[in-house]
């Protein structure tokens, strides 16, 4: 090599490096466990950009040699490659941001119509579909936290047998829809069959529509559907809209009607599904009967478009349900002072760290609160469908600041798209602050299952998401299916068309109560400790005019002010009540806390109770394990405990205490058997023991 000029060595090294990158990308595609894994996405992006760069290098070399026609051919390869990769990333960003990383977005969009399954879904026979049904049934029973305890939905086994018998007379799309209907019986919005899916045709109607109190309205339309923009849809193909909604509703995995109304418009865009359910004669065209301005009715013939084109044309600029204040903003979280209203407005659209982390954003918000002045602080969670549950705490702490958490000063706007991690944020605001909730019912229940893991059915390749963790946003017995607003306000299509935000307007009409002098004490002096529900630690402390009840497990759980409402009865925020037998002096020995329909008993403790999780984290594994097992058996163990145990185990590993770490990881795997993370951590600790031996 010494005799080769450096420029020649560089010229040879460049294509070799690019070829190696392309090979690495292709290998990643082959080795990836599934098409939405980071490995698959990273491999796809490396492959696409590597091929484009190789084409560019070749074109430059050919131009230098004045071989223009081959250079032009290389450029023709370059432009589509780059365009495809960039458009895939952009469309994926709009569809999945911030839920997926860039690599996953690239993978999902680019391969949505081209995944190489073992057999095309349209060619599967009845035996193959029955194999998938059996695999689905077994996986749900094994992997879902509730079903793994043997708590099957009512009529589950009969529904499985009925579908097994029906499969021979169903088309593939009808079978896929019935599988979605079966999974929806679980009643968990995170556990679902992914529709649309690469194993199904993914052409869509080029409309963006939403459900309002008076029906289905087209917000925007493209292609052959442009005449329908701004109109109300009365009929889709052969069926009235109401009939289509009733037919498709059982396919939507949901905990309440609010989430069904959020998801159903997406199902109505799928012509192949509509045809399979008998609402369209075929999937090639859909006739929409619409009612437009001044009540004029007409039929609009709409032809489907590829899913990628729909994503690029519509999803980049549509903010469903976003308030007027959000105009021009697409960040995951942001805030502003609204001129003339005294409102410090905070919009959270996702709980996922961006260039500015959620913690840094919360710190900047805290600084704005401390600078003041403001009349009210408003958290808008209406377009917030999820993210990372572990990132919400800094925002809750800002809301709980004394100058914020006052009557008539703190508000949270919620709606049907308030979901998943954002639902947990809303629940934390409900438990730990006096926030007034305004808008519509949330899309999730306070106590929910989440952190869905992927399952690819072996024969069809249908993608199923199965929850792996339980999150307690309320007391263990809280059976609410949604968080209902204190101030109900419905947004109509007329509001959206006019750019009005009636929910924010209603909040800004609320005037904070006049500040009054502190009331005289009505509770015994000082404070006392209780055990709450057998597993939580609670402190009841006197404050002017009443008392404050704070509860915690290993983190703050709730904080509520109580005011006397009669002998042995104190009230907190709506739906919160403390009852006890009246005592002549001092604190009651026992009390009952009623919280939004759930109830738990407080038993007075002589001193600050030690929690089972604290004993384990302090090194007393044997002493704390029994308490945690009892808590899990009662359905009162939140997934935050898993994360704490995981952190403890890895801290022990880093200190070289391998056996102690294995003990902690074994306990976590026993308490949370459906969480893949617990078994992965245990396996890593066992490998460390073998390595050290």
User: Which of 65-74, 289-298, 477-486, 503-512 is least confident?
Assistant: 65-74
Indicate the pLDDT class of residue 4, thresholds 50, 70 and 90. very low
Report pLDDT for 175.
Answer: 92
User: Which of 108-117, 308-317, 562-571, 643-652 is least confident?
Assistant: 108-117
pLDDT beyond 50 at 118? no
Per-residue pLDDT, averaged over 207-219, amounts to: 93
Backbone phi, then psi, for 36, in 5-degree steps?
Answer: -105, 10
User: Which of 23-37, 105-119, 363-377 is least confident?
Assistant: 105-119
Q: pLDDT, tens digit, for every residue of 275-291? A: 999 999 998 999 999 99
pLDDT beyond 80 at 105? no
Q: Quick one: how many helices (H) and strands (E) in the chain?
A: 21, 25
Per-residue pLDDT, averaged over 263-277, amounts to: 92
pLDDT beyond 90 at 5? no
Tokens of 173: 């799309």
Report pLDDT for 113.
Answer: 38
Per-residue pLDDT, averaged over 375-402, amounts to: 94
Indicate the pLDDT class of residue 348, thresholds 50, 70 and 90. very high
Report pLDDT for 47.
Answer: 73
Report pLDDT for 519.
Answer: 54
First-to-last C-alpha distance (Å) of the chain: 46
More confident residue, 362 or 203: 362
Contact (Cβ atoms closer than 8 angstroms) between residue 242 and residue 199: no
Q: pLDDT, tens digit, for every residue of 609-667? A: 999 999 999 999 988 999 999 999 888 888 999 999 999 999 999 999 999 999 999 99
Q: Which has the closest alpha carbon to 576: 441, 398, 434?
A: 434
pLDDT beyond 50 at 317? no
pLDDT beyond 90 at 80? no
Per-residue pLDDT, averaged over 353-382, amounts to: 94
More confident residue, 340 or 66: 340
Q: pLDDT, tens digit, for every residue of 135-144? A: 999 999 999 9
Per-residue pLDDT, averaged over 452-474, amounts to: 89
- Sequence-distant (≥ 6) Cβ neighbours of residue 481 within 8 angstroms: 255, 256, 445
Residue bearing tokens 């019935």 = 178
Q: Which has the closest alpha carbon to 412: 485, 317, 501, 473?
A: 485
Report pLDDT for 223.
Answer: 82
pLDDT beyond 50 at 562? yes
pLDDT beyond 60 at 34? no
Q: Which has the closest alpha carbon to 77: 22, 37, 119, 132?
A: 22
CA dihedral 36, 39, 40, 42 (to 10 degrees): 110
Report pLDDT for 200.
Answer: 56
Contact (Cβ atoms closer than 8 angstroms) between residue 652 and residue 660: yes
Residue bearing tokens 């038993």 = 603
Q: Would you list the DSSP string of 502-558?
A: HHHHHHHHPPPPPP-PPPPP-S-SSEEEEEETTTEEEEEEEETTEEEEEEESSSEEE
Alpha carbon separation from 273 to 108, 174, 190, 515 (Å, rounded): 20, 8, 21, 58
Q: How many residues comprise the chain?
A: 693
Residue 569's H or E segment, with its range, is strand 569-571
Alpha carbon separation from 409 to 55, 373, 434, 509, 537 (Å, rounded): 60, 12, 9, 12, 29
Alpha carbon separation from 73 to 43, 58, 60, 68, 195 (Å, rounded): 25, 10, 12, 9, 39
Q: Would you list the DSSP string of 185-225?
A: TT--TTSEE-SS-TTS---B-SEEEEEETTEEEEEEE-GGG
Per-residue pLDDT, averaged over 443-450, amounts to: 95
More confident residue, 6 or 205: 205
Please state, in angstroms and rounded to a whole number, the distance separating the CA atoms of residues 659 and 84: 51
Report pLDDT for 327.
Answer: 43
Q: Which has the closest alpha carbon to 570: 542, 551, 597, 598?
A: 542
Please state, in angstroms and rounded to a whole number, the distance separating the CA atoms of residues 633 and 655: 32
Report pLDDT for 59.
Answer: 67
Report pLDDT for 100.
Answer: 41
Q: Which has the closest alpha carbon to 262: 332, 315, 321?
A: 321
Distance, CA of 489 to chain centre: 23
Tell me if residue 403 falls in helix, strand or coil.
coil
Report pLDDT for 319.
Answer: 37
Report pLDDT for 312.
Answer: 57
Distance, CA of 209 to chain centre: 21
pLDDT beyond 70 at 535? yes
Indicate the pLDDT class of residue 81, thresholds 50, 70 and 90. low
Q: Output the furthest CA–CA distance in the chain (Å, rounded).
A: 102
The average confidence (pLDDT) of the chain is 84
Please state, in angstroms and rounded to a whole number, the distance separating the CA atoms of residues 481 and 448: 9
Identify the bridge partners of residue 337 per DSSP, sorted by sequence position.
344
Per-residue pLDDT, averaged over 375-395, amounts to: 93
Residue 484 CB-density burial (10 A; 0-12 exposed, 13-18 middle, 19+ buried): middle
More confident residue, 315 or 429: 429
Q: Which has the closest alpha carbon to 176: 152, 202, 205, 196?
A: 196
Contact (Cβ atoms closer than 8 angstroms) between residue 460 and residue 167: no
Contact (Cβ atoms closer than 8 angstroms) between residue 540 and residue 527: yes
Contact (Cβ atoms closer than 8 angstroms) between residue 130 and residue 164: yes
Backbone phi, then psi, for 590, in 5-degree steps?
Answer: -135, 150
Indicate the pLDDT class of residue 169, thresholds 50, 70 and 90. very high
- % residues pLDDT > 70 (the chain): 79
Please state, in angstroms and rounded to a whole number, the distance separating the CA atoms of residues 522 and 540: 13
C-alpha angle 549/479/414, rounded to 5°? Answer: 75
């Amino acid at each position: 090599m010494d005799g080769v000029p450096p420029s020649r060595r560089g010229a040879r090294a460049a294509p070799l490096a690019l070829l190696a990158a392309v090979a690495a990308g292709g290998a990643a595609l082959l080795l990836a466990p599934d098409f939405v894994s980071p490995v698959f996405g990273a491999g796809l992006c490396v492959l696409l950009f590597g091929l484009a760069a190789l084409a560019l290098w070749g074109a430059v070399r050919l131009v230098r040699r004045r071989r223009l026609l081959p250079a032009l051919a290389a450029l023709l390869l370059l432009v589509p490659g780059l365009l495809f990769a960039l458009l895939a990333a952009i469309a994926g960003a709009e569809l999945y941001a911030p839920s997926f990383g860039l690599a996953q977005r690239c993978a999902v969009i680019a391969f949505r119509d081209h995944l190489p399954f073992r057999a095309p879904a349209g060619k599967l026979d009845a035996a193959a579909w029955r194999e998938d049904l059996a695999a689905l049934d077994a996986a749900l029973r094994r992997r879902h936290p509730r079903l793994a305890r043997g708590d099957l939905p009512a009529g589950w086994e009969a529904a499985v047998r009925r579908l097994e018998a029906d499969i021979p007379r169903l088309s593939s799309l009808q079978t896929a829809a019935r599988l979605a209907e079966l999974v929806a019986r679980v009643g968990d919005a995170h556990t679902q069959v992914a529709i649309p899916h690469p194993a199904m045709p993914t052409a869509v109607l080029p409309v963006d529509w939403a459900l309002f109190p008076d029906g289905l309205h087209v917000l925007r339309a493209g292609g052959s559907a442009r005449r329908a923009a701004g109109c109300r849809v009365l009929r889709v193909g052969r069926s009235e809209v109401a009939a289509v909604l009733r037919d498709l509703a059982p396919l939507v995995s949901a905990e309440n009607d609010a989430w069904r109304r959020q998801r159903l418009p997406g199902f109505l865009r799928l012509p192949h599904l509509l045809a399979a359910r008998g609402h369209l004669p075929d999937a090639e065209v859909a006739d929409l009967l619409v009612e437009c301005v001044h009540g004029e009715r007409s039929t609009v013939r709409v032809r489907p478009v590829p899913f990628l084109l729909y994503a690029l044309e519509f999803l980049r600029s549509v903010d469903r349900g976003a308030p007027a204040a959000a105009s021009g903003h697409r960040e995951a979280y942001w805030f502003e002072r609204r001129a003339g209203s005294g409102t410090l407005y905070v919009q959270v659209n996702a709980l996922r760290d961006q260039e500015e982390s959620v913690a840094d954003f919360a710190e900047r918000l805290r600084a704005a609160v401390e600078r003041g002045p403001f009349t009210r602080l408003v958290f808008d969670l209406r377009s917030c469908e999820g993210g990372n549950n572990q990132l919400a705490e800094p925002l809750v702490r800002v809301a709980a600041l004394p100058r914020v958490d006052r009557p008539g000063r703190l508000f949270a706007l919620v709606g049907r798209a308030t979901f998943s991690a954002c639902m947990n944020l809303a629940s934390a605001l409900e438990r730990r602050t006096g926030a007034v909730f305004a808008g519509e019912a949330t899309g999730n229940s306070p106590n929910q299952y989440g952190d869905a893991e992927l399952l690819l059915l072996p024969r069809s390749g249908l993608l199923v998401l199965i929850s792996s963790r339980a999150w307690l946003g309320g007391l263990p017995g809280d059976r609410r299916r949604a968080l209902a607003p204190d101030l109900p306000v419905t947004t109509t299509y007329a509001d959206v068309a006019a750019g009005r935000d009636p929910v924010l307007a209603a909040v800004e009409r609320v005037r904070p109560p006049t500040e009054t002098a502190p009331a005289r004490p009505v509770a015994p002096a000082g404070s006392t400790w209780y055990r709450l529900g057998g597993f939580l630690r609670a402190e009841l402390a006197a404050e002017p005019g009443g008392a404050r009840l704070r509860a915690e497990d290993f983190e703050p759980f709730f904080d509520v002010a109580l005011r006397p409402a009669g002998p042995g009865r104190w009230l907190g925020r709506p739906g919160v009540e403390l009852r006890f037998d009246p005592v002549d002096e001092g604190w009651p020995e026992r009390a009952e806390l009623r919280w939004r329909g759930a109830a738990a008993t407080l038993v007075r403790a002589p001193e600050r109770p030690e929690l089972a999780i604290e004993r384990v984290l302090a090194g007393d594994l044997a002493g704390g394990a029994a308490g945690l097992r009892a808590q899990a058996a009662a359905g009162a163990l939140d997934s935050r405990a898993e994360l704490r145990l995981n952190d403890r185990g890895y801290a022990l590993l880093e200190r070289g205490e391998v056996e102690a770490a294995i003990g902690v990881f074994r306990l976590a795997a026993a308490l949370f058997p459906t969480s893949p993370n617990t078994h992965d951590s245990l396996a890593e600790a066992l490998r460390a023991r073998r390595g050290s031996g």
